[in-house]
Structure 1
Amino acid sequence: MRQNETIAFAGTLVDILVAGEETGRQFSLLRITNPPGVWTPPHRHLHEEETIYVLSGQVQVWTEGETRSLSAGEVVILPRGQAHRLGNAGPETARALVFCTPSGFEQFVREAGQATGALASAQAPDAEALALLASLSSRFGIELLPSG
């Protein structure tokens, strides 16, 4: 049985619970721990859909020009090609499961993040981290979008 991987990625902590190599590339399952104040850059996935299930805290989802706040037990489906941004505007750490179909996003996380046992700091990605995301994103079918 494969041991879970924990990766510091763009200001969050990502646990790869099920990787694509275990599912014939059909899906992957990640657990995201998102500190307060941390948001992903606006982006879209060209190859996979994401289903976000909130475990604890509040996860904000920006898509189609509006932001929704999701609490524990709530879910949102982000179809491939749909621009979105995920974040935590709440006062406590948020945790969510991210189900990606097909798999592939976990490999982007592996290459753009750092393997770690714990989240070193609760901060948004710095310029160096954003540059690494931008340099790898097109190879994984992820399009980073302007913030404004």
Structure 2
Amino acid sequence: MTIADRAAPAVPDDDPARSLTVAHPDDPATTYISLAGDNYAMLIGGEQTNGKYCLIDMRVPDGGGPPPHRHDFEEMFTILEGEIEFTFRGEKRTVGAGSTVNIPANAPHFFRNVSGASARMLCMCTPAGQEEFFRRVGDEVASKDAPPPSLTADEVAERRKRATELAPAYRTEML
């Protein structure tokens, strides 16, 4: 069934209270979060989209990426630079610049940068909320190129514990 086959209500009126959003990773107002060694620029959040989606510019060092997890929202990645190995339901697939990957809701997955150099991708989550989770579990840094903070073993353990404890509130399960 296509969208055109579905009976749908009329398109709602424009909401003039909502404004155009223009985001750029070099904008001084951008928030940058270091999380597990990756650097995430929070480009567009739920506050700009009425909670419909968020957009994050991810810079992932060689070998970087999150631990295995799953969540009840859709996640889409467009690789801009480098190669990312996605593990989806236990199957590995390497994807290069120019490709887009959609992770269906609830599916176990994770990714690793296998480029031999830094990689970059855009991540869109729908609905929004992932950007808030990242802000709560990561560390704010000064810029898109800022190195991750030097954390002690205890601080790393505290970040992992915080992520595990907050994950359910953000519809995420760490595996």
Report the TM-score when normalising by structure 2.
0.76
Deviation at 1:120, TM superposition (A): 2.5
* Percent identity of paired positions between Structure 1 and Structure 2: 31
User: Does the alignment pair 1:137 with 2:167?
Assistant: yes
Show the counterpart of 1:33: 59
**Distance between the aligned counterparts of 1:82 and 1:122, measured in 2?**
32
User: Does the alignment pair 1:120 with 2:145?
Assistant: no
**Distance between the aligned counterparts of 1:136 and 1:119, measured in 2?**
25
Show the counterpart of 2:75: 50
Show the counterpart of 1:85: 110
Q: Is the 8 A contact 2:86 2:110 kept in 1?
A: yes
Gapped regions of structure 1 (runs ≥ 5): none
Deviation at 1:87, TM superposition (A): 1.2
Q: How many residues align?
A: 143
SS in 1 for 2:98: coil
- Aligned residue runs from structure 1 range 1-20, under 5 A: 3-20=29-46
Deviation at 1:122, TM superposition (A): 9.8
Q: Which has the larger radius of gyration?
A: 2
After TM superposition, the runs of 4+ consecutive aligned structure 1 residues lying more than 4 A away are none
**Distance between the aligned counterparts of 1:83 and 1:122, measured in 2?**
30
* Code of the aligned partner of 1:143: E
Deviation at 1:60, TM superposition (A): 1.1
Correspondence for 2:47 among 3, 18, 21: 21
Per-residue CA deviation, residues 98-137 of structure 1 (Å, 9 max, x unaligned), is 01111010000010011111132699x9433222211111
Show the counterpart of 1:110: 135
CA RMSD of aligned residues (A): 2.0
* Code of the aligned partner of 1:140: Y
User: Does the alignment pair 1:100 with 2:139?
Assistant: no
**Distance between the aligned counterparts of 1:106 and 1:86, measured in 2?**
18
**Distance between the aligned counterparts of 1:114 and 1:133, measured in 2?**
12
Per-residue CA deviation, residues 34-77 of structure 1 (Å, 9 max, x unaligned), is 0011231100012x210000000111110122111111100110
Correspondence for 1:75 among 92, 100, 103: 100
Question: Are the structure 2 counterparts of residues 86 and 59 from structure 1 closer, same or farther at C-alpha, using a change threshold of 3 Å?
Answer: same
